[in-house]
Amino acid sequence: MNLFKKIVSKLTSQPEEEQRQSLEKLGDSLKNADLDYKFAQLFTHSGGFFNYCADEAEALQTLNQIIRIEGIRNMFCWDKDLQNFLDVVKTPYTPELQPGNDASFITCEYLIAYDGRIMLSHNNILHYHSSRMPEKIIVMANVSQIVSNLNDAMGKIKRNGNIKNLTSISGGHSKLDTSSHTNTKLFLLLLED
């Protein structure tokens, strides 16, 4: 019986372990690459949808395509600047998270090139736990938000002060929250500064 448990345990954990090793190998092969390129590769490798936008007009067009293709009908979006984007593409939104939201449109604190994660705080998702976010998350960020690693991000956060409730998401799932959705789709609109 003990041998059977070992075999089952090995089989069930193997894909997750292989994915982690694959991500580490890709990260090692990109260690000398530009931060934006490295971030984009690792973010997409972990399941995220990366969209580079040269300007706000292109970001608006890409956002509209995502909304149309994904069939998004109502978004959680509390950021006033992002709400302006949704007004232009005529997509309903609520400033508070509601059960009827089928997507969220948010900003982020930093993009971490080391492993392709996106760092969030209460500034981005208010007081909500990231596991409560809808299954489709669209993040808008600037190239200047890309940092080399978690230490760089934490150093910048300490200098800026008063940022709380930090979490991070990557690709299709949250890295810090164990109760996240298994079929989350994470889209990034990366704008040139």
Domain ranges of the chain: 33-191
- Does an H or E element contain 57, and which? helix 56-70
- Count of CB atoms situated within 10 Å of the CB of 12: 9
* pLDDT of 164 higher than 60: yes
Query: What is the C-alpha to C-alpha distance for residues 183 and 136, in angstroms, rounded to an integer?
Result: 9
Decide which of 155 and 180 is more confident. 155
Query: What is the C-alpha to C-alpha distance for residues 9 and 140, in angstroms, rounded to an integer?
Result: 39
Predicted confidence (pLDDT) per residue in 20-40, tens digit: 556 567 666 677 778 999 999
Query: What is the C-alpha to C-alpha distance for residues 168 and 110, in angstroms, rounded to an integer?
Result: 9
CATH class of 33-191: alpha beta
Under 8 Å between Cβ of 109 and 145: yes
* pLDDT of 181 higher than 60: no
* pLDDT of 73 higher than 80: yes
Neighbouring C-alpha atoms within 13 Å toward the C-beta of 64: 12
Predicted confidence (pLDDT) per residue in 140-157, tens digit: 999 999 999 999 999 998
